[in-house]
Structure 1
Amino acid sequence: MTFLDDGPGETWGVVCREGEPRQIFYAREGEAAANRLGAESVGRVTALLPGAGGAFVDLGAGEPFGFLAKGQGAVGQAVRVTVSAEPRGGKGPALTLKGKGEGAPRLLKPGPAIPEWLARAAPGVEPDTGAAAIEAVREAREAALAVEVTAGGLNVAVERTRALVAVDLDFAGTPGRDGGKAREAANRLGLSLAARRIALKRWAGLVAIDLIGTSQPPEPILSAARNAFPDTGVTFGPLSRFGLLQLSLPWRQTPIEEALFGVKGEHARRTRQIDAVRDLRHAVETRRSAPWISLIVPDVEVGEMTGLVAGLGPRARLVSEAGRHPGTYKIRES
């Protein structure tokens, strides 16, 4: 199943399989279209790294500039490029050179919109909208931001550092069961759960997985890893004698926590406001008997949130409350 929630301030696309969210597509209002995955632009080379090590390219979207992995041409030259990986960690998008460009930096063709990404992920499936989509977004968002996932006595912790994504598998074991077979089954499940969570978080780069047990036959583990991480761009490293598996995933999308909150939390206030309005939209959709649904907000935020509520219809109301702490909201029927 797929879900499309095109609401004020943001658009979500969620792909669910076997009853749980597996992929998230997200766009925030006000983002630079030139930085989106698949966007094509004319850019201008602003700097070259020594030894043809790369080039920074102005796409007309401001800093941070895009980056070409191999230096091309000269400073000031116009180039035609596409975005192969969205911005992350305060760095600009990764670019692929398409050819020579002409004129000032500008967007030539935007990347796929959220409905198109959903159609690519699940061809022929019509996405659900309305209250069902809002509920799917809530579930996907919660799962994507969670650090741990548990199943069948297995605990999987997935965390991201500056250098890599670290995965720790912890298994309590099952009394009376063959220890070797139990560990092998737990590792297979753990790899699958880790891959799903990493995909939902939209993380990539180097991944280090601390498996259950040591001195394991490498082929069953590598086979399970290939099944769990089917991405054609994945590169697998060897299984170490300490039970550590390393692999590398290609970056494509901005990590979901950065898309929502910013690299340094600069978007957190707006995200809380949009979340509150999503709750208001859900209440309007599901509480049909109430003549009005009000969102009570701090008086210092009402001006920032008026535009988010303006198009929700006559039953949705925004009410300011003096003294309410910033970032706290309440839904009320009236």
Structure 2
Amino acid sequence: MSGVEVFLDDTPGETRGALFRNGRPERLIIQRDDDVAAHRLGARSVGRVARIEPALKGAFVDLGVGAPFGFLPGKGVGEGARVQVEVTAEPRDGKGPALRLTGPGDGEARLLAAGPDVRAVLSGWAPSVEPVEGVDAIQAVREAEEEALGTGVVLESVGLDLRIERTRAMTVVDLDWAPATHLHGAQARARANDRGIAEAARLIRLRSWGGLASIDLIGTGFDGDRVAISARAAFEGEAGLVVGPVNRFGVLMLSRAWRRRPIDDILLDGDGRRSLRTRAADIVRALRFALLSERGAPTITARCMSQETERAAPWVAALGPRARLVADDGIAAGHFKLEEG
């Protein structure tokens, strides 16, 4: 797979993996030690049908791990029935996982098999590529995360300014000319739109977003067939992809199946800021990076606010005796200082 690199960052508390294509991040996965194993994509469980929802044409299934329950679409199961199910979409935005019926079940609700771990997922993305680990992986995954939480990209080479955001209803992508571009004309516009669709696909994959998406193209008067071909090529291999026509307002509509929990849902709190869990993981990862980079330092201490210290303490302990953690409430939330001992 020419131009493909994969990175595996296995830091205490969570494991992250990223796929880069031609030097740019395209996929990112984060699995945390305190995630619910029964909710991971591909996990198989015995569940109990807790209630039928005729209006939703499906049932909510208790997987034995508490709320939120999984949702099983379709008919043919009765309330109280035991069923074997597989997770086809991870929880997101407060909703439980989506499930697929694999057969009848028996006994108590319980996990039968966890879904693939990060290493296995990377192997599926790039079967012949050995993952890079260590400091290079920490740097690469950090870069992928920053882009996954960004607002868009500007590509001066094609005069493209792309902005992207996710609402409750859909993903919204706005393509426009970059402010200082000198490019004009129908051919330049077509190139910018093609590249914009490809970039939109990359960013949607990177963020693990699914559902309905609208891409507001540059200009008007499009060759709809050409745009559809460009979209299908950009999203090639995507599960459940549906590409609609370009409407009279110059907006391309498409839909992509939800699969993994969105990256922003994992990392951010309800106010769109890095959660306490994420901030603690940042500290542990920075400490691990420093320990790997400065092998001659007898100890490296992270100073951070007490709330973050408490959350990060067990993971820092797992880094070994060279890693230290000190509470300092003079340091603002989300900030820390590293000191060599």
The answer to whether the superposition gives a TM-score over 0.5 is yes
Mapped to 1, the partners of 2:316 and 2:233 lie a distance apart of 45
CA gap of 1:313–1:243, structure 2 versus 1, over 3 A, is same
Shift of 1:269: 0.6
In structure 2, the CA distance between the partners of 1:266 and 1:181, relative to structure 1 (3 Å rule), is closer
Paired position in structure 1 for 2:162: 156
Identity of aligned residues (%): 48
Instruction: Report which stretch shifted further, 144-153 or 33-42.
Output: 144-153
The answer on 1:202 being equivalent to 2:208 is: yes
What whole-Å deviation, never above 9, does each CA across 1:60-88 have from its counterpart, x for those lacking one? 11111000111332111101100000011
- Aligned counterpart, 2:142: 138
Does the Cα contact within 8 Å between 1:28 and 1:259 map onto a contact in 2?
no
| Residue 269, structure 1, aligned to residue 273, structure 2 | no
Q: State the shift of 1:137 in Å.
A: 1.2
Q: Which residue of 1 aligns with 2:84?
A: 80
Aligned counterparts, 1:2-41, within 5 A: 2-41=6-45
CA contact (8 A) 1:54 1:72 kept: no
Report the CA distance shift for 1:267/1:141 in structure 2 as closer, same or farther (over 3 A).
Answer: closer
What TM-score results when the alignment is normalised by the length of structure 1? Answer: 0.95
Q: Which amino acid aligns with 2:276?
A: R
Q: Match for 2:288 among 281, 291, 298?
A: 281
SS at match of 1:215: coil
Equivalent residue runs for 1:1-334 within 5 Å? 1-50=5-54, 53-152=57-156, 153-172=159-178, 174-175=181-182, 179-230=185-236, 231-262=238-269, 268-334=275-341
CA contact (8 A) 1:60 1:106 kept: yes
- How far apart are the structure 2 equivalents of 1:328 and 1:202? 27
Deviations 1:86-106 (A, max 9, x none): 011111000000111101110
The amino acid of 2:335's aligned partner reads T
- The aligned amino acid for 2:99 is L
Cα separation, partners in 2 of 1:269 and 1:178, compared to 1, 3 Å: closer
Question: Cα RMSD between the aligned structures?
Answer: 1.8
For 2:203 and 2:213, locate their aligned partners in 1 and report how far apart those are by CA, in whole Å: 12
Unaligned runs of 5+ in 1: none
> Counterparts of 1:49 and 1:180 in 2: how far apart (Å)?
51
Unaligned runs of 5+ in 2: none
Change (3 A) 1:127 1:271: same
The CA distance in 2 between the partners of 1:76 and 1:194, in whole Å, is: 43
CA distance in structure 2 between the aligned counterparts of 1:149 and 1:174, rounded to whole angstroms: 14
Contact map agreement 2:239 2:256 (CA 8 A) in 1: no
| More off after superposition, 211-220 vs 78-87 | 211-220
Q: How many pairs were matched up? A: 333
Secondary structure of 2:206's counterpart equals helix
Conservation of the 8 A alpha-carbon contact between 2:283 and 2:312: no
Other structure's SS at 1:38 match:
coil
Greater mean alpha carbon deviation, residues 45-54 or residues 193-202: 45-54
| Residues 301 and 185 (structure 1), Cα distance of their counterparts in 2 relative to 1, 3 Å cut | closer
Q: Is the 8 A contact 1:234 1:247 kept in 2?
A: yes
Kept in 1: contact 2:60–2:72 (CA 8 A):
yes
Q: Is the 8 A contact 1:89 1:263 kept in 2?
A: no
Residue 124 of structure 1 aligns with an amino acid whose one-letter code is S
> Per the alignment, in what secondary structure is the counterpart of residue 310 of structure 1?
helix
Q: For the Cα contact (< 8 Å) 1:52–1:72, is it kept in 2?
A: no
| Equivalent position amino acid for 2:155 in 1 | A
Give the Å deviation of 1:317: 1.4
The residue type equivalent to 2:43 in the other structure is A
In the alignment, the residues of structure 2 paired with residue 87 and residue 122 of structure 1 have an alpha-carbon distance, to the nearest angstrom, of 25
